[in-house]
Every structure is written in C-alpha cells, then in structure tokens.
C-alpha cells in the first residue's frame, strides 16, 4: 500500500505490526531494501522527523525505531552474533542455555590464556622464547619444537604445578584482529616495556586495547640487564595510564625481567597466576562437546587445512565432527606444540587439528557438532549468510560527518583518530595541532595510533575495533587495504594541507560538519493533455523531455519558465493503462501529482532528488 507521508514522499507502509529485521550497522539503504522503498524517500521522511542521515550511514536502533513507527513497522535489530546464534538454534545447538545449565559442580579450574603485547623491539619474541624454555615439564616431552600459534607451559605456584597457555604471536595485531571478529581469547595480557627505552606509542596502544577489552595487565619490565635500564621510570610513566604498581599502592603487578638472560621469568609467571586468580573465574566444563576459537590456520601441501584451535570449554576428541567459521570436517588427528599426537584436548588447550575442509580465519569460533552432516550444513549456512552480508550495503562505522550527530545525541564522547603521514615531523605537527583544538568539556579527542607510511591493514583493523577515523597526510592506502576499509566501513580521509585536516576535525567536534545535500535533477516532462479523474485527481498526459520520470520522486511544476508549484510528489505514473516505476526520455506517460490538480497543457513537470554532496 502506498500512502503519502511526511515530506510529501510515498513509502510502502506496514500495518503497525509488520516486523522488519535489520542487522546491526544497517543503513537506510538496507531498510529500504526490506520494505521495497526508495532510499531517498526514507532520507526525506527521517529528515521531517528531525534527523539528518544519509542513505548509506549506519543508524542505531532508536533512529530506526522512530522511522519505523512513523511508517507502520516494528524494527528488530540483530547482531551478526545473534544471527549466528539463531542459525545454531535451528540445529538445536544453544550455547547460552548450555552455559546457564552448568552448575558449580560441572566447572573445573583451567589454565589462564595469556597474550604478550608491547612496543616493537621491546622483547616480546624473546620473552615468548624464554617462557617456552622454562617449562618445568617440557624436559620430559622433549621441549616445544613446533610453532603452532599457541603453547602451554607449566610453572610452580605456591607449591602446586600450574599450566599457562600462551598465544604465540607477539604483538597486538593478532589480538586486534581477533577482537575485530568478536572473539575474546585472552584472559591476561603481559605488557612488555623495555627498561632502557620506556613507554612508547605501541605500549600505549597495546594497553588501550587490553583495557578496553577488560583484560587485566601484568607489566614485564624487560632488558633490566642493560646499562641505562631504569625500571622505576617505567613504573612512574605507566601511572599516567592507570597502571599503578603495587609498590606504589596500585593493583598492577610489575616484574623486572631480562628475556635475554632469562631472569625474572618464574616471577613473571607467578605474577600472571596471582593476577589471574585474583581477577578472574578461570573455570570451564570439560564434560561436553568442545567449543573454542581458531587461533591460526594454513593450508599444508601434504596435510591439507591445518588449524590451531584453542579449546575454551568441553573436550575435543579425535573423530569429532567440527565446524570452525565456514570450515567443517572431522578431526582426523590432533597435535600439540611438542609435535606429539593427542586423542583429546580439554579447556585452555591449544591443539593443531587436521581434517577440516578449508582454512578457517583467526578468531573464528569452532564447535563440535552432533554429526558431520550437521557440521557441513552449519558451515554452508554461515557461508551464505556471509555472502549476503557482504552483498548488503557495506556498513559505515562512523564518519566525521556522522560524528557531530552522534555527539549531539550523546552516543559518543570521544573522537578516535588514527594518524598516518609521509614524514614523522608532519605526523607530530598534525597531532600537536589536533590536540590543541579547544573542544570543550563534553568531548574528547584521542589519537589511538600514529605512524609514518602508507595506511595499512593494521591501521584499518585498529580503526575498526575502536570506531576510529583514519587521517592520511600525504600518504596512500597500501595495496588491498582500500577494500578492507570499504568492507569494514572505516572512514579514511586524505589531506595534503595540515590546516584542512584540522579544520575538518574541529568542525566535526564543534558540531558543524553536517552532510550537505544538493538537488539533482532527474528528469522533465511536458504536459500534452490533462485528464480529469474524480477518483485519482487530474492526470497529466505527458511526454518525457529529458532524463526519466520516476514514481515517488519529488516534483515541481513550471509554467512558461516560472515556478507555479513546488514540493510535489509523482504519486502515480502510468504507461497507457499500466503502472510504471519509471519512464524514459521520448516516451509518453500519465503523471498524477496527488492532490495537486491545477495542471495546464504545456506545463513542465520537473523531478529531482536530494543527494549527499561529496566533500573535497
């Protein structure tokens, strides 16, 4: 049913109960798709409801709710995770109910899962090597020989032998990539800071990531063997970032180590266990089908798809049917970090799994399915959901233009930026100038990362996680990164004049950078004859003179070159007896302008739409 609406546009209406399900991050384009409407008319309706949005901008539930209520629909927002949960539900797999049903008796202590992060060259790799070699039971197993993406070591803690699982990819890139896909694997982060160098940009970045993921941090003050090492200075520097050492009355454990000389490693592991025991409930039910996350995967010439997975709960067995992301199969064999085969793997155990049909991505969740057929069907359904989501309009996270609006609605308080420039001087100058903008009380400007060189995949991943905008000064996107930014909806802006970048950011912060609309003419038609109809109002028998005439678009009427009526809508459009959605140049058609009846022969009907004006 079409009915006039706010702003004089027509939109198909619901009956007040018609449910429209939208994925989180959807835009007016997506909504328009679902109700078979013209996105431009939804922009207009929303505008008349007092909100300005572009057709591609991602909107929140409230905004959709207001719009939907106006049009007779009920909105249900679903996240990708919820969609997947429903998909699993259709196979009788309910992970939430499973967790809820678990009582204290079912839960058994499990090792903590630890990630090592910090600035480049501060010793992350060396530390992971050192930890690997301190394993108190590694001797018997022959030492850790395989790099499978994660390993488990054992340490003595208060007289008890305890296991710890380490993610064996140093740096926060892996951490960020996994979090960007919604997977939280890490229980505890070790932040490595070189005592002879101090807190550096990536130190701050790493701690920001850990803190925003609510992951407790243990600080390893490394390279204390070096001349010029100043461990006290590190403690002092980090207090600025809410990491206050226990010695100074805080609750963060700092341990002085030398990854090279392998000193302080036992104390570090002890601190990790103490922190984990104090902050976290590290228990899981081992007596059920395994659930977990894929840590890394590759295609091996001889063995096919090889994936390292971390079991998070349950126990994985050889022979289990599993699905990891969109890969599925049966566990043909399992190997641990010593290259030994295993028949089963319990909570917090990383294992290499052979037998998957394809290579899952890092951060994909995996689970054991009742049988191989179910595993395959889940994988196939996920694959088609992914394809559909990709085809649906790319989602926009936040752009400088939306920021103002989000700010006014109290939805954001911080503008996060990633700065990249061609030379470090320019980046510093830009950062200095940006941080000097007087932004008032209610908004914060945070530069979450800065660097020299092209905008890389990691920059985009960071921006994805922290909803940041990337500013490139005299730099380009690295190859293939544009596609990623596009897919993730990250706003990347390029500048070659510092002041322009500053002006735009300042305008966004001060609420002045609204999207600009411009009128775009779509077509014009000349009235040849006017048919009077008591039922439909007057119909203008016309010939399209330029462009095309489309139903539901805005229109105005000109008589001898003068405007006689504005703000009309092409309410009906016919080719002979049939309804048409558009009629092209040179063709005849019947145009109805709703209640506007004052048409005369030789009048010109012009149609147009409002489009967002691209910024330079």
Residues in contact with ligand GDP by the rule CB under 6 A = 118, 120-126, 170, 222-223, 225-226, 258-260
Nearer to ligand GDP, 221 or 470 (CB): 221
Nearer to ligand GDP, 227 or 438 (CB): 227
Q: How far is the CB of 418 from ligand GDP (least distance, A)?
A: 21
Q: How far is the CB of 115 from ligand GDP (least distance, A)?
A: 13
Q: How far is the CB of 408 from ligand GDP (least distance, A)?
A: 42
Q: CB-side exposure of 195: number of CA atoms within 13 Å?
A: 21
- The CA distance from 14 to 69, in Å, is 9
Residue 120 structure tokens: 């480049």
DSSP 444: E
Residues in contact with 434: Cβ distance below 8 Å, sequence separation at least 6, in sequence order: 417, 419, 445, 447, 501, 502, 505
Helix (DSSP H) and strand (DSSP E) numbers for the chain: 17, 34
In the block, tokens 């009915």 appear at 3
CB 118 within 8 A of CB 191: yes
Q: How far is the CB of 259 from ligand GDP (least distance, A)?
A: 4
Q: How far from chain centre, in Å, is Cα 304?
A: 30
Identify the three-state secondary structure at position 192: strand
Q: How far is the CB of 229 from ligand GDP (least distance, A)?
A: 9
Nearer to ligand GDP, 178 or 224 (CB): 224
Q: How far is the CB of 297 from ligand GDP (least distance, A)?
A: 22
Residue 410 structure tokens: 């109290």
Q: How far is the CB of 226 from ligand GDP (least distance, A)?
A: 5
Nearer to ligand GDP, 258 or 399 (CB): 258
Nearer to ligand GDP, 102 or 225 (CB): 225
Nearer to ligand GDP, 53 or 192 (CB): 192
Nearer to ligand GDP, 124 or 420 (CB): 124
Nearer to ligand GDP, 122 or 551 (CB): 122
Give the CA angle between residues 54, 568, 537 to the nearest 5°. 140
Q: How far is the CB of 111 from ligand GDP (least distance, A)?
A: 23
Q: How far is the CB of 451 from ligand GDP (least distance, A)?
A: 15
Closest C-alpha among 32, 31, 30 to residue 552: 32
Q: How far is the CB of 218 from ligand GDP (least distance, A)?
A: 16
Name the helix (H) or strand (E) containing 73: strand 73-78
Identify the three-state secondary structure at position 134: helix
DSSP 194: E
> Which stretches of 202-343 are assigned E, i.e. beta strand?
217-222, 254-256, 283-284, 291-300, 304-313, 316-317, 321-324, 327-335, 341-342
Nearer to ligand GDP, 124 or 209 (CB): 124
- The CA distance from 501 to 415, in Å, is 14
Q: How far is the CB of 177 from ligand GDP (least distance, A)?
A: 17
Closest C-alpha among 35, 144, 25, 43 to residue 609: 43
Nearer to ligand GDP, 116 or 348 (CB): 116
The β-bridge relationship of strands 2-4 and 113-118 is unpaired
Nearer to ligand GDP, 12 or 118 (CB): 118
| Sign of the alpha-carbon torsion through 463, 464, 467, 469 | positive
CB 592 within 8 A of CB 539: yes
CB 108 within 8 A of CB 348: no
Nearer to ligand GDP, 51 or 173 (CB): 173
- The CA distance from 591 to 584, in Å, is 13
Q: How far is the CB of 119 from ligand GDP (least distance, A)?
A: 7
The β-bridge relationship of strands 365-369 and 321-324 is antiparallel
Q: CB-side exposure of 224: number of CA atoms within 13 Å?
A: 18
Nearer to ligand GDP, 121 or 516 (CB): 121
Q: How far is the CB of 294 from ligand GDP (least distance, A)?
A: 23
Nearer to ligand GDP, 201 or 250 (CB): 201
CB 593 within 8 A of CB 555: yes
Closest C-alpha among 244, 262, 261 to residue 252: 244
- The CA distance from 415 to 403, in Å, is 8
Angle between helices 457-466 and 201-212 (to 10 degrees): 40
Cα radius of gyration (the chain): 30
- The CA distance from 89 to 69, in Å, is 30
Report in angstroms the alpha-carbon separations of 547 from 10, 529, 565.
21, 20, 20
Nearer to ligand GDP, 217 or 367 (CB): 217
Q: How far is the CB of 240 from ligand GDP (least distance, A)?
A: 22
- The CA distance from 528 to 530, in Å, is 7
- The CA distance from 450 to 118, in Å, is 15
Q: How far is the CB of 186 from ligand GDP (least distance, A)?
A: 17
């Amino acid at each position: 049913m079409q009915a006039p609406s706010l702003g004089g546009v027509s939109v198909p209406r619901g009956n007040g109960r018609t449910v429209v399900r939208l994925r989180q991050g959807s835009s007016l384009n997506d909504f328009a798709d679902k109700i078979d409407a013209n996105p431009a008319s939804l922009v207009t309706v929303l505008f008349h409801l007092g909100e300005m949005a572009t057709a591609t901008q991602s909107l929140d539930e409230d905004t959709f709710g207001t719009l939907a209520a106006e049009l007779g629909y009920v909105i249900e927002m679903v996240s990708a995770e919820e969609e997947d949960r429903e998909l699993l539900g259709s196979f009788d797999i309910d992970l939430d109910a499973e967790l809820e049903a678990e009582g204290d008796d079912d839960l058994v202590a499990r090792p903590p899962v630890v990630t090592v992060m910090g600035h480049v060259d501060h010793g992350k790799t060396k530390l992971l090597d050192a930890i690997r070699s301190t394993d108190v039971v590694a001797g018997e197993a022959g030492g850790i020989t395989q790099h499978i993406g994660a390993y488990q070591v054992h340490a003595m803690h208060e007289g008890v032998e305890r296991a710890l699982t380490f993610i064996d990819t140093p740096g926060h890139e892996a951490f960020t990539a996994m979090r960007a896909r919604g997977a939280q694997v890490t229980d505890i982060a070790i932040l490595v800071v070189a005592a002879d160098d101090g807190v550096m940009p990536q130190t701050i970045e790493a701690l920001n990531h850990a803190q925003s993921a609510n992951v407790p941090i243990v600080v390893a003050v490394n390279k204390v063997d070096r001349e010029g090492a100043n461990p006290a200075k590190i403690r002092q520097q980090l207090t600025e970032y809410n990491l206050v050492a226990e010695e100074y009355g805080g609750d963060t454990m700092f341990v002085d180590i030398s990854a090279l000389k392998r000193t302080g490693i036992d104390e570090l592991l002890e601190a990790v266990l103490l922190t984990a025991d104090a902050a976290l409930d590290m228990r899981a039910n081992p007596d059920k089908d395994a659930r977990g996350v894929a840590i890394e995967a590759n295609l091996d010439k001889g063995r096919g798809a090889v994936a390292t997975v971390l079991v998070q709960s349950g126990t994985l067995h050889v022979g289990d049917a599993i699905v990891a992301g969109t890969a599925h199969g049966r566990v043909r064999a399992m190997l641990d970090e010593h290259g030994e085969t295993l028949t089963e793997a319990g909570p917090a155990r990383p294992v290499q799994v052979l037998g998957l049909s394809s290579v899952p991505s890092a951060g994909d969740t995996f689970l054991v399915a009742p049988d191989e057929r179910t595993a395959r069907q889940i994988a196939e359904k996920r694959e088609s959901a992914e394809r559909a989501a990709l085809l649906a309009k790319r989602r926009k996270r936040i752009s400088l233009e939306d920021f103002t609006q989000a700010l006014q609605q109290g939805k954001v308080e911080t503008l996060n930026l990633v700065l990249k420039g061609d030379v470090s001087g320019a980046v510093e100058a830009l950062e200095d100038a940006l941080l000097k903008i007087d932004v008032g009380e209610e908004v914060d400007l945070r530069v979450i990362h800065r660097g020299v060189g092209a905008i890389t995949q990691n920059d985009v991943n960071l921006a994805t996680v922290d909803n940041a905008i990337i500013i490139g000064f005299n730099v380009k996107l690295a190859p293939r990164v544009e596609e990623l930014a596009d897919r993730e909806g990250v706003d990347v802006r390029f500048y070659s004049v510092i002041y322009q970048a500053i002006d735009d950011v300042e305008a966004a912060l001060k609420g002045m950078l609204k999207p600009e609309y411009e009128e775009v003419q779509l077509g014009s038609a000349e009235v040849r004859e006017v048919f009077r109809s008591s039922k439909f109002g007057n119909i203008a028998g016309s010939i399209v003179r330029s462009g095309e005439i489309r139903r539901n678009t805005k229109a105005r009427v000109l008589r001898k070159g003068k405007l006689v009526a504005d703000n009309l809508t092409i309410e009906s459009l016919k080719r002979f007896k049939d309804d048409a959605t558009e009629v092209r140049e040179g063709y005849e058609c019947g145009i109805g302008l709703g209640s506007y009846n004052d048409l005369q022969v030789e009048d010109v009907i012009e149609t147009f739409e409002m489009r967002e004006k691209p910024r330079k």
